[in-house]
Each structure stands twice: as C-alpha cells, then as structure tokens.
Chain A
Amino acid sequence: MDIFTPVLEGFGTVLEPGNLLYCFIGVLVGMLIGVLPGLGPAATMAILLPMTFGIEPVTAIIMLAGIFYGAQYGGTITSVLLRLPGEASSVVTVFDGFQMAKQGRAGAALGVAAIGSFIGGTASILGLTFLAPLIAGFALDFGPPEYAALSLLGVTLVATISSGNKVKALIAASIGVFLAMVGRDVFTGTERFTFDNLSLSDGIDFVTVAMGLFGLGEILYNLEERHKAMATPEKPKRVWPTKGELKQSGPAIGRGSILGFLLGILPGGGATISSLAAYGVEKKVAKDPSRFGKGAIEGVAGPESANNAAATSSFIPLLSLGIPANATMALMFGALLIQGITPGPLLVSEEPELFWGVVNSMYIGNILLLIMAIPLIGVFVKILSVRPAILAPITVLITLIGAYTIKNSVFDVGLVVLFGIIGYLMKKAGFEPGPLVLAFVLAELLESSVRRSLILFEGNLGEVFTRPITVTLLFVFLVVILLPIIQKMLGNAKAKSKSKELVS
C-alpha cells in the first residue's frame, strides 16, 4: 500500500487551518454565486476563477474544490426554492423538490440533497482514489498518436452529446481550437494570428474566454430573461429532514451514488444523464410510483446523489488522462493549468503530492459543503428574495474587476466583455459555449500531439494501424461522428425524445 502513504500525508496539508479557511470561503462564495438564478456551476466557477490566483497552488486547489462543490449545490438550491434549475443536471430535482418546497418541506429537500450530494461525492472520490492511478498507469504508455486520438474524441464527444444542435456545437468547437492557436507557436516560436498586437503574443488567456463566454454571456442572457415570472422562495418550516424522511431516502442515495459514479466517468453529459437515470430508477423501484412529481423525497435524494457523484467521477478522466469530460471540467483543467499543475497520467507518478492534494481537497470540500449547506438555508432564502436587478450589476462588477486583477490588464477586461457579447450571441443563435471552451482547453494538446504524430510517422498515415489503442479510439471517434447521421437517415424522430428522456 505504499502508493497510499502520500494520500494520508496529503491530508496533513489539506487540514491546515489556513487551507481549511480557504476551502470554507470557496464553498461559501461558490454557493452564494451559484445560487443566483441562471448561473450554473460553470458560470459560477468562471466568475470566481480570479479568486484562486496569487495564492499557493495547494491552497488554490482546495479553494477551487470548495467553489466547485458550492457551485454544484447552488443549482440545487434554486431548483428546490425557485423551480429554476441552474443546469441540466438539476432539472429533475425540480419535479419533486419544488413540490416539497410548496408543502413547506424545502428544508427536508435541501437537507437530503446535501446529504445525498455528500455521500455520492464521497463515494466517487473513494472510487477515484483507487481508479485514477490505475488508469493513469495504463495511460503512461500513450504516445502522441494516442493523445491526438483521445483529445479529438474528447472534443467531439462533448460537442455531440450536448443538448443543442450537433453541427453548431462542432463549429463552436472548431472555432475554440482556432482561438487557442493565437499567439506563439510552441514548436517554432512563430507568432500566429496576433496582428502584431503585443497583448496577443502570449495567446488568448483561457480565463478571459471562460469568464466571458460562461460568466458575462450568461449574465447578459439573463438580463433579457428577467421579465419572466419567478416564484418567490417560501421560508422552509423545518430545516432538518425527519428520521422517516432520511430512512426513506437512504436507499435512493445509495443507488444514485453508484449510478452517478459509473455514468460520470463517461464523457459528455455524465451528470445530466445520471440524474435522469436515477430519477427513472427511483420511480421504477418505488412501491407507489404515483407519488413522484408530488413531493417524493426519493425523487430529490436519488438524482442529487447521482449528479454529485457523476460530477466528481468526471474528475477521473481529467486527472488520469488529462481529458476534461464536460464544460465544468474544462474550467477545472484551465484552473489547474494556471496553478502550474498539468492534469494527466504523469501527475500521479511525478507529482504525487499535488495529485493527492487535489483529491484530498475534494474530500474536504464535500465535508464542508455538508456542514454548511443546512445551517445556511435561511441565508439562501434571503439572498433569493433580493431582487435580481440589484444582484446582476454586482455580479458584473465581480466579473470585470476580477478579470482585471488577474494580470492588472485592461486589455483582459476588454476581452472578457468581447467574449461576453459573443457568448450571448452564441446562445441566441443556438451555439453552445461549452464545446468552444472545452475545445479551447484541449487545443494545445491536440495540436502538439497531431504534429508530433506526423513527425513520428514521417508522413505515412498508414502507421496509425500499428497502434491498436489509437485505432480503437479513432474508431469510437468515427462512430460518434457517424451515428447521428445514420440515425437521421433512418428517420428516427428526435424531437419527441426530449420529454421521454427526462421521465423514462
């Protein structure tokens, strides 16, 4: 068990009071921003990224983990209290969660969601603790061709699994790759697409892209949506779930955790699929399925455990292969890179203290979330009753000033605004910003692997067939690209599937 000594040693660092404080702040601000209507975890993390700059890497990661879990839970809070899912993966929570809130059981719903999230998340981290080093060990033999195929697959999977128009998602992804090419070429040092602008010669900063597209774009979009009816949160009568409710939701939490963990490893909408699947399972297992949609606590417990388990297990491909599985992980990837940590197979073996630092901070983030979520429910209800008209400009200023503080550069603030406008227009035109950001993050790996492979193969593309893993990955890539086209040709009506997916 030698490999696990760093795990235990790592806890020592993570548990230092200073680090715990940062984790606490992370969870708190993550929840506070995540609870703002319309801002999902990706937006929340993007807006708060500058907070983690300028502090020690380990501390920064711990804070990031806190923000991550806080932001995840923020979406749950709005689902239950306002019937406003922060992101796709908490849509099903609305079905029973909002009903419970209307019956005055919002506290029970949020409490069970917090407990479920904690158990699901912790189970996933345990799985990650054992699985990630194994996968990383396997990936150590990967050469440039494998990485080229893997990152290509990563980009296309996220683009094609995303909910919107697939071709548009792929267009967005290709533009994301292109934008990442701006700046100095890593191989030759040639400046590309900088138009002799000094500020661009180091390339476009990932943080400005993410803060603009996810953060500001989302805020501008909400500005337009604000006239819509919104439920006013009701003050929950009880904050804690009763013993009976806990007993009832126990098995659901267990099933949700396992389901979430398994589905979360898959790239794409792991968390969304798993929360839908968990809801379906709970409805099937229940003795009286008709209770669902009327405030059945399992309908909150199962999906919430599942989506947090999935959100956590999507760290596995990130930490072991260096491939982010979804938009939130793309943000995590970018944030870790900024801290000088390159997620990938080498991380476990070469920098174990950093790897286990990341993993351990997730344990802590999860525990703090559980401790803080329930007592703070009253605070969230208060925040949600503040008018969005007042909260919106504050969020804007946090984003703009945060962007400035990264490098004390007004140019960066301008870029954030530019990407904010682009993000808004993309949403209006039906382009998902997620694939663009993910592709932007993966672009460097993709380009350097492709170019190295070409040099390795000496231009003979037939060499690919001497590498079985690459061939397999490329085969999956082809299936992912071709399957939707074949399905369309066979005339599978896709329009009806939306509601079916959600409830089946």
Chain B
Amino acid sequence: MTSISQTDRPAVDKSEDSDAESDIQAVGDDAETPEELLALWEEEAPEPAGGVANLVACVLTLAFGVAGMVLSLNLSLGSLTDPAPGFFPFVISLITTVLSVAQIVLGRRGGDGEKFSRYSVTVVWGVISLLVFVAVLPIIGFEIPALLLSFVWMKWLGGESWRSAILYSALTVIAFYLIFVVALRTQLPHLF
C-alpha cells in the first residue's frame, strides 16, 4: 500500500511533471507533426502483455466455452428442425471454445493487452473498496461505506492530503444524501 501512498507519490508526480513539460515543449517546438505525436503516445503506452497473459486469458475463455457447452448439453439440444433451449447456447459456446483454442496458438507470443504495472495495486484496493461497499450497503446504509470509499480513493489511491480527503469525501456524501435521499426520495438504504 505504501508504494502508492503519498510517501513516494510526490516524487513520481514531480518526475512526471517535468516529463510533461518537456513533452509539451517537444510538441510545440519539435514534434509538430501528428506522426511525432503518435510516436509520443506509443512511447507512453504500457508494455503489451506477454504470451503468458494471452494463455491465461484464453484458457479462461476456453473454460467458459467448455462449461457453456456442458451446461447447454444438459438443457438438451433438440434437432435442426426443432431446436431446444440448449441448441443455440451450445453453438455459441462451441464458437467461444474454437476461437479460444485458435487464439492460444495465434497469440502465443503475446503482443496485445497491457502488462500489469506496480500501479495495478491501486486497482486491487479500488476493487476491495467496491466489494466492501456492496457487502455492507444493505446492512448499514450507504453513508458510511460511501464515506469510506471516497476517503480511500482520495487519500490512498489518489494521494490527496488528509485534510482535503476528509473534507471532500464528507462533502461528497452530504451531496449524495441531499440528492438521492432528500430530493429524489429514492429507496437507497440510509442510516439517517
């Protein structure tokens, strides 16, 4: 968690900022053509995910396809003259399966997608905060989980200061309360 928290964030930002300035300079003075701008974007783009990522992803879709075929078979396929509920899903899962096998072979050297970087950790924390939100929403209402979620996203995932994170997350929750509970009277579970 510390790797993405404020401790090293300013350093990162600083270097990025100076990069940004030189980029903009470059665009203004040297990189005048769209081609050069494209090259710049290419440079900034993350590394493509490798062959292993392709294998893992396509094995997953392959498993999805095979599972789909098995489940469809259980529903019965019927015949061409009278297709049963399992017929169409079976054909579709078959397509998923065949294409996944093809992609396992074709993409064995990788080439597309993106590698996970050290910043991907932020996404894990983001997902955890989302799951917590969903889990406790029906029990204690939206205020506390929403406050926690905005605070975590602002402070630890976004590198805001304590003060601004507390202030803005409180304001956010108050605004949502006013809009969804007071004004629109939705049935959103709430504590107060």
Q: Which residues of A line the B interface, CB within 8 A?
A: 83, 92, 94-95, 98-99, 102, 164-165, 167-168, 170-171, 174-175, 177-178, 181, 185, 187-188, 190, 192-193, 216, 220-221, 223-231, 292-294, 387-390, 392-394, 396-397, 400-401, 404-405, 408, 410, 413-414, 417, 420-421, 424-425, 427-431, 447, 450-451, 454-455, 458-459, 461, 498-499, 502-503
Give the complex CA separation of A227 and B13 in angstroms.
7
Contact between chains at A417 and B131 (CB < 8 Å):
yes
Chain A residues lying within 8 Å of B102, measured Cβ to Cβ, are: 167
Contacts of A396 in B (CB 8 A): 130, 149, 153
Question: With contacts A224-B120, A401-B142, A428-B114 known, is A171 near B137, CB below 8 A?
Answer: no
Asked whether any CB of chain A lies closer than 8 Å to the CB of B162, the reply is no
Chain B count of residues within 8 A CB distance of the other chain: 90
Contacts of A503 in B (CB 8 A): 33-35, 38
Contact status of A223 and B157, CB under 8 A, knowing A95-B37, A417-B134, A428-B114: yes
The answer to whether A394 touches B150 (Cβ under 8 A) is: yes
| Bound form: Cα–Cα A425–B49 in Å | 12
Report the minimum CB–CB distance from A294 to chain B (whole Å).
6
Residue picked from A389, A410, A414, A425, most chain B C-beta under 10 Å: A389
Q: Give the 10 A-B CB pairs with smallest separation, nearest first.
A: A389-B158, A430-B113, A229-B20, A430-B112, A459-B81, A393-B153, A459-B80, A429-B57, A393-B150, A185-B85
Residues of A within 8 A of B23 (CB): 229
From A171, A405, A424, A459, residue with most partner B Cβ within 10 Å: A171
Q: Is B5 an interface residue (CB 8 A)?
A: no
B133 and A400 form a contact (CB under 8 A)? yes
18 additional contacts, CB 8 Å, given A102-B24, A413-B134?
A: A95-B34, A99-B27, A165-B107, A170-B95, A171-B61, A175-B96, A181-B88, A223-B126, A293-B33, A294-B32, A388-B158, A389-B158, A400-B133, A401-B188, A408-B188, A431-B113, A499-B39, A503-B34
What B residues does A292 contact at CB under 8 A?
34
Residues of B within 8 A of A447 (CB): 88
Contact B188 A390 (CB under 8 A): no
Enumerate chain B residues within 8 angstroms of A390, measured Cβ to Cβ.
154, 158, 160, 164, 168
Cα A427 to Cα B84 with chains together (Å): 35
Q: Is the CB of B80 within 8 A of A400?
A: no
- Chain B's closest residue to A170 (CB) is B99
Contact between chains at B35 and A171 (CB < 8 Å): no
A-contacting residues of B (Cβ < 8 Å)? 12-13, 16-17, 19-20, 23-24, 27-28, 32-35, 37-39, 44, 48-49, 53-54, 56-58, 61, 64-65, 68, 71, 75, 79-89, 92-93, 95-96, 99-100, 102-103, 106-107, 111-114, 116-117, 119-120, 122-123, 126-127, 130-131, 133-134, 137-138, 142, 146, 149-150, 153-154, 157-160, 164, 168-169, 172, 176, 180, 184, 186-188
The answer to whether B153 touches A389, judged by C-beta atoms less than 8 angstroms apart, is yes
Q: Are B172 and A394 neighbours in the complex by a CB distance under 8 Å? A: yes
Q: Which residues of B contact A188 (CB under 8 A)?
A: 84-85
Q: Are A231 and B20 in contact (CB under 8 A)?
A: yes
Q: Are B38 and A458 in contact (CB under 8 A)?
A: no
A451 contacts B53, CB within 8 Å? Answer: no
Give A255 to B48 CA distance when docked, in angstroms: 38
Residues of B within 8 Å of A394, CB to CB, are: 150, 172
Q: Nearest Cβ in chain B — how far from A384, in angstroms?
A: 15
Alpha-carbon distance A427/B160, docked complex (angstroms): 27
A387 interface neighbour in B126, B160, B176, Cβ under 8 Å = B160
| 14 cross-chain CB contacts under 8 A | A95-B34, A165-B112, A223-B153, A224-B123, A228-B16, A229-B16, A392-B153, A397-B172, A408-B188, A410-B138, A427-B113, A429-B54, A430-B112, A454-B81
Residues of chain B within 8 A (CB-CB) of A420 are 127, 130
For the complex formed, measure the closest distance between the CB of A295 and the CB atoms of chain B, giving whole angstroms: 10
B117/A187 in contact, CB under 8 A: no
CA of A99 to CA of B25, assembled, Å: 11
Docked Cα-Cα span, A175 to B99, in Å, equals 11
Q: How far is the CA of A394 from the CA of B171 in the complex (A)?
A: 10
Q: Which residues of B contact A171 (CB under 8 A)?
A: 58, 61, 96, 99-100, 103
Residues of B within 8 A of A174 (CB): 65, 92-93, 95-96, 99
Determine which of A231, A408, A454, A502 lies in contact with B83 in the assembled complex, contact meaning CB atoms within 8 Å.
A454
Enumerate chain A residues within 8 angstroms of B107, measured Cβ to Cβ: 165, 167-168
- B27 contact set on A, CB distance < 8 A: 83, 98-99, 102
Q: Which residues of B contact A499 (CB under 8 A)?
A: 35, 38-39
Given A227-B16, A389-B153, A417-B131, A192 contacting B138 (CB threshold 8 A): no
A223 touches B92 (CB 8 A): no
Kindly list chain A residues whose C-beta atoms are within 8 Å of the C-beta of B103: 165, 167-168, 171
